[in-house]
Amino acid sequence: MAFRFLAVPSHRLVEHPQSLPVDERLEPDLPPVHEAVERALSGAEFRDMRAKDRLRALLQGDKPPKLGAPEAGFGASAVFAQPPQDLPALLRLADELEGLARREAGERALVWKCGDCGARYAVPVALVRQVSIRCERCGTPVELNATRSLGEESLIDPFQGAVNDSRRELAAFFREAMARGWPVLVAEDRRVTPPPPQA
């Protein structure tokens, strides 16, 4: 299920089928990879419930969401968190997301290139010793000297990087919404499936 978070001031909430205001809203700047955003929330809890289960219950549960949609292509919105009563739970969720992003940040590695064939060698920073290895491809000795490395890079894969970016962005968004006292809303993204035929 693809979804979208946003926050608007309480006094500007409208019922579906009206649309939520666009001039006054807060939205996290999330990567366009929906799977990364969904993964970002896995392992995080909100009010003793897995955050993803809460989203599903709000958007696909017995009581359909009633608030306006963020824009065309989205379902009606539901309140995910309401200040001030949900403030502590949402701040805890923000902490949890940042903690997960830190834990899964990936190791830093130093990178070298074989002078002959250009094969790349990345060694986690903690394991770097000043040794000479034989290039796997051409047999030329490669000097793993920290001062002669091509630089540092993260061993993290791009998908995990997007997951962690989503976590940090969501955490900042939740904090900002609570600081403003705005309810955090969520709506289902229906753009991935074809819209129903027009009557």
State the nearest-atom distance from the C-beta of 111 to Zn ion, in Å.
14
Window 37 to 56, contacts with Zn ion (CB under 5 A): none
Residue closer to Zn ion (CB basis): 135 or 185? 135
Out of 47, 66, 120, 137, name the contact with Zn ion by CB under 5 A.
Answer: 137
> CB–CB of 158/14 below 8 Å?
no
Whose tokens are 């027009």? That residue is 198
Cα separation, 141 vs 147, whole angstroms = 17
Residue closer to Zn ion (CB basis): 87 or 119? 119
Q: Whose CA is closest to 18, among 78, 60, 67, 75?
A: 67
Beta bridge partners of 143: 132
State the nearest-atom distance from the C-beta of 90 to Zn ion, in Å.
52
140 binds Zn ion (CB under 5 A): yes
117 binds Zn ion (CB under 5 A): yes
Residue closer to Zn ion (CB basis): 88 or 141? 141
Out of 20, 114, 171, 187, name the contact with Zn ion by CB under 5 A.
Answer: 114
The arrangement of strands across the sheet holding 120-124 comes to 120-124, 108-113, 151-154
- Separation of CA 8 from chain center: 20
119 binds Zn ion (CB under 5 A): yes
- For residues 58 to 97, the per-residue mask of contacts with Zn ion, x marking binding by CB under 5 A and - elsewhere, is ----------------------------------------
Out of 135, 171, 177, 185, name the contact with Zn ion by CB under 5 A.
Answer: 135
Contacts of 14 (CB under 8 A, 6+ apart): 20, 21, 67, 68
Out of 138, 150, 155, 179, name the contact with Zn ion by CB under 5 A.
Answer: 138
> CB–CB of 122/110 below 8 Å?
yes
Read off the DSSP letter of residue 20.
Answer: P
Q: How far apart are the first and last CA of the chain?
A: 26
State the nearest-atom distance from the C-beta of 143 to Zn ion, in Å.
12
| Binding footprint of Zn ion on the chain (CB under 5 A) | 114, 116-117, 119, 135, 137-138, 140
